[in-house]
Chain A
């Protein structure tokens, strides 16, 4: 039974990774940049939701909504101020280093505002969960909600990208920015929209993550952020389904690794997955191959 319960915990953590990875993969696919600060937007989202509940006494649903709004705005502002000016920089390192700077800025602003001490997060899920197999297998409400939320987000996002006009614009921009511009697509707007969606998802991920693991610090987002990037690479960067599958697999690998190998080495295991994937199949499970033009 314990194996199954590990597996379900892995799916739950993996669902959070998947939601974060969706944000990564969309931004990477469209703006062609690794948004290092994505993980820290998660942390900001969690703090906003927590404060909305504890300080303003709002309901969990309202708190999530506020967190989504704040993170969306934050994502757009970050893109506009820190990334957009560097879009045509001569070195691709420029925007990557700036993103690292933004990540650090968010962490340290949070540190000044909220302090270094871990705050305990109130779960947004009030339901006790399921008790199966005569009580020997318990699944928490958070776990069920997280997995369901992830599936819904995945389906909605796939529909959005495939069927709606802004979604098609996104695909066009990710294929060829210049050509999309010539076709009359608002490239800047599309990139901003991508950041907005990614950041909104980050807020949701932050709330779900902290509901399951209720200790919130300014560094809460950093590691899940990096691991979600690993998940995005694992699944094939730029692919929504890839981010979903990569996230779930990575969550399962991490939880099983923690349970059966060593809790300290679980992170190392996740990174080892990244290294192996990049060496064996750099495009990930579902990614496309890109040939360099000479």
Chain B
């Protein structure tokens, strides 16, 4: 079976500095995959390359067999990659519900004229969107705060909302950039359950960046370790975490 995400020899330089070099990864459908490495190893840069924020200067990215190398962010989103951000990026002045509804944007259509004139299609599609968004919010236990402004949510709920919004785009692949950052052990535990649940419920493939080793070893089936922009080790979680090279890279940090 072909992998859902197949990346070959991906690389980019910033002003002479090779930020990511010869990066390979292959993520199977419905896999929970971890991307780890010391600070500055290039993990977020990989995400930015996968989502079209940066254009790679070498390599190839295949999503479900489709070549998405160097495509624009919005086309990659339409192709089926959704992400969250290390520093949470919500639509702060919109309600929690509307944040998710923006995520539904490309899956539910009516024209501008239909919207302004509030024609029947506007009403029926909006109703559909409301229902779908509420369903998603329920998964993340956010339905009670649906009408609040996103900026008024506590930190943990903001992280959840960002994941809900990403899922609203109905992606094939979900990228989570340090989802547990700033969470206490309790919240992290909850988050782990939630990620597992999302995988089962939505048959989702997840690639995540994380520093919290408990989370990584707890839920990831496979790992790739990045160091100085290059792959240091790759494979099953247990094997990778016992790789002497990986241990040195972390202890030597």
Contacts and interface: CB of A to CB of B under 8 A. Distances in A.
Q: Do A and B come from one complex?
A: yes
Contacts of B44: 294
Interface string A265-294: 000000000000000000000000001001
Interface string B43-84: 010001000010000000000000000000000000000000
B65 to A, nearest CB: 27
B91 interface: no
B85 interface: yes
Contacts of A294: 44, 48, 53, 85
5 contacts: A291-B14, A294-B44, A294-B48, A294-B53, A294-B85
A294 B50 CA distance: 13
B108 to A, nearest CB: 27
Contacts of A291: 14
A242 B48 CA distance: 33
Contacts, number: 5
A294 B48 CA distance: 8
A265 to B, nearest CB: 37
Interface size class of B (residues with CB under 8 A): under 10
A166 B14 CA distance: 31
Contacts of B53: 294
Interface in B152-185: none
Nearest to A293: B87
A294 B14 CA distance: 14
Nearest to B83: A294
A109 B53 CA distance: 48
Contacts of B85: 294
5 closest Cβ contacts across the A-B interface? A294-B53, A294-B48, A294-B85, A294-B44, A291-B14
Nearest to B85: A294
Contacts of B48: 294
A178 B100 CA distance: 34
Nearest to B73: A294
A294 B45 CA distance: 9
A294 B51 CA distance: 11
Interface in B75-120: 85
A291 B19 CA distance: 14
Interface string B223-243: 000000000000000000000
A291 B44 CA distance: 15
A291 B17 CA distance: 15
B17 to A, nearest CB: 12
A41 B85 CA distance: 43
Interface string A171-192: 0000000000000000000000
A14 B85 CA distance: 47
B55 to A, nearest CB: 12
B163 to A, nearest CB: 18
Nearest to B44: A294
B20 to A, nearest CB: 14
Nearest to B54: A294
A252 B48 CA distance: 44
Nearest to A292: B53
A294 B49 CA distance: 11
A190 to B, nearest CB: 27
B92 to A, nearest CB: 8
Nearest to A90: B92
A291 B85 CA distance: 17
A264 to B, nearest CB: 39
